[in-house]
């Protein structure tokens, strides 16, 4: 019966850490978790357990481990010597936790990492302006018009309209090529 209670307490700790760290539940505190789940455990032992489980969850979540990766990771953790590793019960609890919470934790991490407002849409066209309509022959070249649809989650979109002459379009294309080169360098380096 003691093993079942320990497993429940550890499962509660993992879920409490997830509530606090990934689901932004400010009502969950380290003190609450200790008093509700591990009241007999000395504070320093609880802090060590809490920090270890929090670190393991973070490692698992940032790698977005699938089942095979998780099993390999947990096997390596159980083989670690000293206080850095986990025992079989802790590994089993972490496995159950990740199986049930992976999707929610991943969605939470994605929503926390999104820039707001985000680009929802883009439309463009090229207009030719005639000298007669502008009254100035010097500005009779093509003009690119671009409309950006920006928005935050759960809110209406905002629209930004941009107008570029040929020189500005070329300048923007060069900057976009520079961005693409930087992305390619980073992707090929990893």
Q: Which residue has the tokens 């019966």?
A: 1
| Max Cα-Cα span within the chain | 90
Secondary structure E strands in 16-68: none
Q: Using an 8 Å Cβ cutoff, are 64 and 106 in contact?
A: yes
User: How many residues make up the chain in this entry?
Assistant: 190
Per-residue confidence (pLDDT) for residue 137, from 0 to 100: 55
DSSP character for 93? H
Both tokens of 157, joined, read 């979109």
Q: Could you give the dihedral angle defined by the CA atoms of residues 178, 181, 183 and 188, in that order, rounded to the nearest 10 degrees? A: -170
Q: Where are the domains of the chain?
A: 1-113, 118-188
DSSP letters spanning 113-172: H--SSEEEEEEEEEEEPPHHHHT-GGG-SEEEEEEEEEE-TTS--EEEEEEE-HHHHHHH
Q: How many CB atoms lie within 10 A of CB 162?
A: 12
Give tens-digit pLDDT for 163-175: 999 999 999 999 9
pTM over 0.75: no
Mean pLDDT on 14-20: 95
In this prediction, residue 1 has a pLDDT band, given cuts at 50, 70 and 90, of very low
C-alpha gyration radius of the chain: 27
Give tens-digit pLDDT for 81-119: 666 789 999 999 999 999 999 999 999 988 888 777 888
């Amino acid at each position: 019966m003691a093993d079942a209670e320990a497993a429940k307490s550890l499962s509660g700790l993992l879920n409490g850490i997830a509530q606090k760290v990934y689901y932004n539940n400010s009502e969950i505190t380290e003190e609450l978790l200790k008093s509700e789940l591990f009241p007999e455990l000395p504070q320093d032992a609880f802090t060590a357990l809490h920090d270890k489980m929090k670190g393991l969850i973070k490692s698992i979540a940032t790698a977005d481990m699938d089942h095979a990766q998780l099993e390999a990771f947990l096997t390596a953790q159980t083989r670690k010597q000293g206080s850095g590793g986990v025992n079989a019960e802790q590994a089993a609890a972490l496995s159950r936790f990740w199986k049930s919470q992976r999707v929610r934790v991943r969605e939470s991490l994605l929503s926390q990492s999104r820039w707001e407002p985000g680009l929802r849409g883009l439309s463009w066209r090229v207009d030719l302006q005639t000298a007669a309509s502008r009254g100035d022959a010097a500005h009779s070249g093509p003009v690119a018009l671009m409309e950006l649809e920006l928005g935050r989650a759960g809110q209406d979109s905002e629209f930004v309209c941009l107008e570029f002459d040929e020189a500005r379009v070329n300048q923007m294309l060069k900057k976009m090529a520079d961005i693409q080169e930087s992305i390619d360098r980073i992707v090929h380096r990893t």
